[in-house]
Amino acid sequence: MTSIFLRRPPQQKVAPLPDIGAPVPERPGSDNSLILFLRHVGCPFAEQAVREARIWKEHHPDVTVFVVSHGSAEATMAWLKVIGGAGGLEVLTDPQRDLYGAWGLGYSRGWHFMGIASLVGVVSLWPKGIYNRQASGTRWQRAGYFRVRSGRLVWRCIPDSAQQFSLPEN
């Protein structure tokens, strides 16, 4: 893996965010799913999301949980191995960020990941053994979490800053 520093690749085509109750855009192959579009590989908040999604999946075995990474497939799999594996999660890679864009997830602003809330959030993860690791992808890509049932969006979380994360109750 290489360092991603703060370089910003060209913006991909970005559709509007899907509304609750609306048919979902292009999606992974399950009508009962949770889809987590991660920040970059190596991001502490992406690691936290994967760890919490593995636990969530244990409590919701009938739901297919997809983790979408825009890092390379090789970097994503190496990173997952370091952080304890994917568990029961389905891993998809989207290095061109086309799937991210189809779900309305474009770039964040610099304060999203360099603001005080995110910096404090990173420090709060250190006692859990979560910290910045070798990165792949772009720090500018926005994360998003979506719950789908019968082809419709029933819940979403679009973080206002990098450290914000939640999962649906069911």
Q: pLDDT value at position 147? A: 96
Return d(Cα 168, Cα 170) in angstroms, integer.
Answer: 5
- Mean pLDDT of the residues in the chain: 83
Residue 6 has pLDDT above 90, yes or no: no
CA 166 from chain centre, in angstroms, equals 11
Query: pLDDT tens, 116-159?
Result: 665 666 666 667 766 676 766 676 888 999 999 999 999 999 98
| Its pTM surpasses 0.85 | no
Return d(Cα 151, Cα 26) in angstroms, integer.
Answer: 10
Which run of H or E residues covers position 122? helix 116-125
Looking only at the bridges linking them, the beta strands covering 64-69 and 90-93 are parallel
Tokens of 58: 């244990």
Share of the chain above pLDDT 90, in %: 56
Overall average pLDDT of the 160-164 stretch? 63
CA nearest 119: which of 161, 160, 159, 71? 161
Residue 102 has pLDDT above 50, yes or no: yes
Residue spans per domain, the chain: 32-157
Query: pLDDT tens, 44-83?
Result: 888 989 999 999 999 999 999 999 999 999 999 999 999 9
Distances in Å between the Cα of 69 and the Cα atoms of 34, 59, 154 are 14, 23, 22
As a CATH number, domain 32-157 is 3.40.30.10
Share of the chain above pLDDT 70, in %: 76
Return d(Cα 116, Cα 25) in angstroms, integer.
Answer: 33
Q: How confident is the model at residue 1 (pLDDT cuts 50, 70, 90)?
A: very low
Would you report the helix, strand and coil content of the chain in percent, each value rounded to 5? 30, 20, 50
